Structure 1
Amino acid sequence: MNKVPNAAASAEASRAPEAPLSTAGRDDLAAAKRVLVQEADALRRLADSLDGALLKALDILAAVTGRVIVTGMGKSGHIARKIAATLASTGTPAQFVHPAEASHGDLGMVTSKDAVLALSNSGETAELSDILGFARRWNIPVIGITMKAESALGNAADVTLALPKTPEAGAMGLAPTTSTTMMLALGDALAVGLYERKGLSAEDFHELHPGGKLGQILIRVGNLMHVGDEVPLIGTDDVMSHALLIMTAKTFGCVGVVNAGGDLVGIVTDGDLRRHMGPDLLRERVGDVMTKGPLTIRANALAAEAVRVMNERSITSLFVCDGMKPTGIVRLHDCLKAGVA
Structure 2
Amino acid sequence: MSKRCVALLSGGLDSMLAIRLMQEQGIEVEALNFKTLFTCCQDQSAQAAHDLGVRLTVVSQDDDYLELLRKPEYGYGKGANPCVDCRIYMFDKAKRFMEQIDAGFIISGEVVGQRPMSQKRTDLEVIAHHSHLDDLLLRPLSARVLHPTLPEREGWVDREKLYGFVGRSRKELIALGKKLGLRSLPTPSTGCALTEPLFSQKVFDLIQIQPQARRWDYEVLRQGRHFRFDAETKVMVGRNEAENDALKYAHQLPDAASTAYLYPANFLGPFALVAGRASEKAVAFAAGLLLKYGKFEGPGEPLVEVVQRDQPSRQVVAAVSDAVETARTLGSEPTSRRSQQPI
Q: Which has the higher contact order (CA 8 A, sep 6+)?
A: 2
Q: TM-score, normalization: structure 1?
A: 0.31
Q: Which has the higher helix share?
A: 1
Q: Calculate the TM-score normalised by the size of structure 2.
A: 0.31
